[in-house]
Amino acid sequence: MQFSSAVLGFARAASFAPMGGVRFQATRQGKRVASSSNAPRYRPGRHFLQIPGPTNVPDRVLRAIDNPTIDHRGPEFGQLGREVLARLKEVFRTKGPVVIYPASGTGAWEAALVNTLSPGDRVLMCRTGWFASLWQEMAERLGLDPVFIETDWRHGADAAAIGAALAADGERRIKAVCVVHNETSTGCTSRIGEVRAAIDEAGHPALLLVDTISSLASIDYRHDEWGVDVTVAGSQKGLMLPPGLSFNAVSEKALAASAAARLPRSYWDWRAMLKPNAEGFFPFTPATNMLFGLSAALDMIFEEGLESVFARHDRHAEATRRAVRAWGLEIQCADPKYFSSSLTAVRLPEGASADALRAVILERFNMSLGNGLGILKDRVFRIGHLGNFGDLELIGTLGGVEMGLAAARVPHQSGGVQAALDYLSGSA
Ligand SMILES: *Cc1c(COP(=O)(O)O)cnc(C)c1O
């Protein structure tokens, strides 16, 4: 007990001083202590975690997690399990099963592939950005045969190109189409309904697998209506939980495919999950306290109403884009059709460093912004405006960016915060 409270004590201290340059070092006792050369520094006010996930965890969720762990084979747990599994379906907008893994989103990516596919299967993917590239690399490592439709990292997936690739696949070698709904590296949201229509128009039997890790519970999404076969999601973005849970929503067609799929799977196997899930239980120890948090997060989402949650994200995204334009900076997403409502990636003028700007903002204003990934390294910074987030938090965030642009001497115009204020107050 002493051990864990010591660890927790430091974790809490670190959360109050996330940029105090704290260095942890392991001691022989296995405890972690702050090294004396770089002691924690108290930072008044709260840290602004404005990366596009993990997002700011609401107090209500933290309080729910902070309860004694219960017996995961006992009756109280069965009730919790049944309740969260049932209510989660509404978030995915599905009547089918949702599987919960104690894993980050990457685990649910793997689960989607290994449950539905066989060695050598061709999968059609769209390189919308960094996360699509990581999913493709995983597919390759698993022994699949991924083929990419390239993009310029400034647009969503091209539904017409997907349709054309399927129409050209006379031998029906493509077994699945994989699309990242909201590409977190670029701030481009793909139109899944259009992708579905393109697949149907080609009359192709491929499964549709969609990554909604940074869009679920932030951006309108409909698993059943859009005929998605596996939806992949994570806990730490729109769902407002800490990192640690991930999800697969599974269609009947995907379940049927899983009966014939031959990729090796054990831990990720849906069949092992779905049986005990029917009674609210899990085949192995679930992340019990995270499920307490999930239950609280679902309460919050349904109290606000899913439609209101989406409208709030749309509104904050529009206010953010108005600020970016007023600064005279460029939005990475080049086509309004694909604008993301959960994050905005902002391009820096030639010669300016996005990482230097982020470092200044972290040091001076105690705010974390997302970095540029892959080919966008140091070229963009990303503003996360998703999860537990209100108008004043958005204004604080944009204020930190505007001050940072001035402090880091990035060529820009002032007036971005004013443009957002005008929009949010309804005076624009
Ligand atoms: C965050 C993210 C991931 C990675 O999820 P992890 O939880 O880090 O494993 C994958 N895809 C998208 C679109 C993401 O935003």
213 lines ligand 1 (CB under 6 A): yes
pLDDT at 405 over 80: yes
**Size of the chain in residues:** 428
What does the pLDDT read at residue 249? 98
In a domain, 286, yes or no: yes
pLDDT interval class at 64 (50, 70, 90): very high
Average pLDDT over residues 179-195: 98
Distance of CA 288 to the CA centre of its chain: 21
Q: Are residues 337 and 421 in the same domain?
A: yes
Answer yes or no: do 18 and 69 share one domain.
no
Q: Which of 184, 189, 190 to mutate to test the pocket of ligand 1 (most atoms within 8 A of CB)?
A: 184
Q: Is there a single domain that holds both residue 350 and residue 382?
A: yes
How far is the centre of ligand 1, averaged over its atoms, from the C-alpha of 388 (Å)?
18
- Helices 391-407 and 354-365, axial angle in degrees (round to 10): 120
Per-residue pLDDT, 391: 98
Give the Å distance between the CA of 188 and the centre of ligand 1. Answer: 14
Residue 118 lies in domain: 59-303
For residues 310 and 245, membership in a common domain is answered with: no
Please report the atom of ligand 1 found closest to the CA of residue 212: 13
Q: 129-159 burial, b if ≥16 CB within 10 A, otherwise e?
A: bbbbbbbbebbeebebebeebebebbbbbbb
Residues 161 and 249 in one domain: yes
Q: Is the CB of 110 under 6 A from ligand 1?
A: no
Q: Calculate mean pLDDT across residues 68-79.
A: 98
Both 208 and 343 in a single domain?
A: no
Ligand 1 atom index nearest CA of 246: 7
- What is the per-residue burial (b if ≥16 Cβ within 10 Å, else e) of 304-321? eeeeebbebbbbbbbbbb
Residue 224 and residue 358 in one domain: no
Give the pLDDT confidence score for residue 27 in this predicted structure: 37
- Closest atom of ligand 1 to CA, residue 180: 13
Task: Indicate whether 47 belongs to any domain.
Answer: no
- Residue 171 Cα to ligand 1 middle (Å): 33
The per-residue pLDDT for range 188-237, each reduced to its tens digit, is 999 999 999 999 999 999 999 999 999 999 999 999 999 999 999 999 99
Residue 93 has pLDDT above 60, yes or no: yes
Q: Is 50 within a domain?
A: no
Same domain, 298 and 357: no
Q: How far is the CA of 428 from the centre of ligand 1 (A)?
A: 35
211 CB less than 6 Å from ligand 1?
yes
Question: What pLDDT score does 41 carry?
Answer: 82
Looking up residue 379, the CATH number of its domain turns out to be 3.90.1150.10
pLDDT at 34 over 90: no
In a domain, 48, yes or no: no
Residue 78 has pLDDT above 50, yes or no: yes
Spacing, Cα 315 to ligand 1 middle (Å): 24
Question: What percent of the chain is modeled with pLDDT above 90?
Answer: 89
Query: Ligand 1: which of 213, 341, 382 to mutate, most ligand atoms within 8 Å of CB?
Result: 213
Nearest atom of ligand 1 to the alpha carbon of 52: 15
Domain-ending residue, one of 285, 303, 321: 303
CATH code at position 143:
3.40.640.10
| pLDDT confidence bin for 286, thresholds 50/70/90 | very high
Tens-place pLDDT, residues 315-344: 999 999 999 999 999 999 999 999 999 999
Q: Does the beta carbon of 381 lie inside 6 Å of ligand 1?
A: no
Same domain? 288 vs 324: no
Both 22 and 69 in one domain: the answer is no
Tally of domains in the chain = 2
Does residue 97 form part of some domain? yes
**How sure is the predictor about 37, in pLDDT bands with cuts at 50, 70 and 90?**
low
Q: What is the mean pLDDT of residues 103-118?
A: 98
Q: Is the pLDDT of residue 275 over 80?
A: yes
Q: Considering the chain, what is the average pLDDT of its residues?
A: 93
Higher pLDDT, 20 or 345: 345
Tell me the mean pLDDT in the region 20-45. Answer: 55
Closest C-alpha residue for ligand 1 atom 6: 105
pLDDT of residue 2: 36
**337 CA to middle of ligand 1, Å?**
23
Cα(180) to centroid of ligand 1, in Å? Answer: 10
Under the banding of pLDDT at 50, 70 and 90, the label for residue 28 is: very low
Q: Lowest-confidence range among 22-26, 124-128, 261-265?
A: 22-26
Is 115 within the bounds of a domain?
Answer: yes
Indicate left, alpha or beta for 130 from its phi (over 0: left) and psi (-120 to 50: alpha). Answer: alpha
* pTM of the complete model: 0.92
Q: Is residue 251 domain-resident?
A: yes
Residue whose pair of structure tokens reads 């192995």 in the numeric block? 284
Give nearest CA residue, ligand 1 atom 12.
Answer: 213
In a domain, 54, yes or no: no
Q: How far is the CA of 185 from the centre of ligand 1 (A)?
A: 10
Ligand 1 geometric centre to CA of 178 (Å): 14
Cα 267 to averaged position of ligand 1 atoms, centre (Å): 20
Kindly state the average pLDDT of the residues 388-412.
Answer: 98
- Given 303, 318, 346, the domain boundary residue is 303
The last residue of a domain, from among 275, 303, 331: 303
pLDDT higher than threshold 70 for residue 95: yes
Ligand 1 nearest-atom number relative to CA 236: 7
Give the pLDDT score at 31: 43
pLDDT in tens, 82-92: 999 999 999 99
- The tens digit of pLDDT for each residue in 123-153 reads 999 999 999 999 999 999 999 999 999 999 9
299-307, Cβ contacts within 8 angstroms, sequence gap of 24 or more: 299/60, 300/58, 300/60, 300/61, 300/240, 300/388, 301/91, 301/217, 301/239, 302/87, 302/90, 306/90, 306/91, 306/217
Tokens of 238: 């729109």
Q: Is the CB of 372 under 6 A from ligand 1?
A: no
Q: Both 293 and 319 in a single domain?
A: no
CA of 136 to the centre of ligand 1 (A): 13
Taking 60 as the threshold, does the pLDDT of residue 423 lie above it?
A: yes
Looking from the CA of residue 104, the nearest atom of ligand 1 is 7
| Cβ proximity of 246 and 101 under 8 Å | yes
- The answer to whether residues 262 and 372 belong to one domain is no
The three state secondary structure string of the chain is CHHHHHHHHHHHHHHHCCCCCCCEEECCCCCEEECHHHCCCCCCCCCEEECCCCCCCCHHHHHHHCCCCCCCCCHHHHHHHHHHHHHHHHHHCCCCCEEEECCCHHHHHHHHHHHHCCCCCEEEEEECCHHHHHHHHHHHHCCCEEEEEECCCCCCCCHHHHHHHHHCCCCCCEEEEEEECEECCCCEECCHHHHHHHHHHHCCCCEEEEECCCCCCCCCCCCCCCCCCEEEEECCCCCCCCCCCEEEEECHHHHHHHHHCCCCCCCCCHHHHHHHHCCCCCCCCCCHHHHHHHHHHHHHHHHHCHHHHHHHHHHHHHHHHHHHHHCCCEECCCCHHHECCCEEEEECCCCCCHHHHHHHHHHHHCEEEECCCHHHCCCEEEEECCCCCCHHHHHHHHHHHHHHHHHCCCCCCCCHHHHHHHHHHCCC
pLDDT at 9: 37
Q: Is the CB of 184 under 6 A from ligand 1?
A: yes
Q: Is 131 in the pocket of ligand 1 (CB under 6 A)?
A: yes
Ligand 1 centroid to residue 237 C-alpha, Å: 9
* Pick from 34-38, 100-104, 122-126, 147-151: least confident: 34-38
Query: 249 - beta bridge partners?
Result: 98, 231
Residue 29 has pLDDT above 60, yes or no: no
